[in-house]
Amino acid sequence: MSQLFAVEVEWTVKKQLNLEASPLDVSTSIDGQWIFILAQGEVLVYSIPEDKVVNRIPVDKDFDRLTHSPRNNTLVLSSRSGRTLKIFQLEVIHTIDTSGLPLKGPEHAPVTMAVFGDYQ
């Protein structure tokens, strides 16, 4: 004889994004820091910690599917009508505010190296 168990699910809306364009597909990064939103002609990169769209990647308007590969940090876009697949390599660039810190060399050099050290 089997027993039936009642199961309830609680849910809460965490965030609602109102976008300028209709989303065609959505994917998230494995660490949960980014949401990639495919709209017609672009991929919106939404940062959850910053709570805003931080980048827009222009793409052909034919692309209608999107997946994120966390293993090698790539976005894979596909187009059914164009029978096309495009792979984008993602690189995260961190901006470090060096204002007020000791500098060596020209203040507005094209490249800045920041050295972090802990002597303990």
> Higher-confidence residue: 20 or 119?
20
Is residue 28 within 8 Å of residue 35, measured between CB atoms?
yes
Q: What is the pLDDT of residues 105-118, one digit of tens each?
A: 887 888 877 777 77
Question: Is residue 28 included in any domain, yes or no?
Answer: yes
Q: What are phi and psi of 104, to 5 degrees?
A: -130, 120
- What per-residue confidence (pLDDT) applies to 26? 95
> Higher-confidence residue: 34 or 120?
34
Range of the domain at 76: 23-89
Question: Is residue 11 included in any domain, yes or no?
Answer: no
- What per-residue confidence (pLDDT) applies to 85? 92
Distance in angstroms (rounded) separating the CA atoms of residues 51 and 49 = 6
Question: Is residue 79 included in any domain, yes or no?
Answer: yes
Q: What is the pLDDT of residues 31-88, one digit of tens each?
A: 889 999 999 999 999 999 999 999 999 999 999 999 998 888 899 999 999 899 999 9
- If you compute the radius of gyration of the chain from its CA atoms, what whole number of angstroms results? 21
Record the pTM.
0.72
> Higher-confidence residue: 92 or 33?
33
- What per-residue confidence (pLDDT) applies to 25? 96
Domain count, the chain: 1
- What per-residue confidence (pLDDT) applies to 16? 87
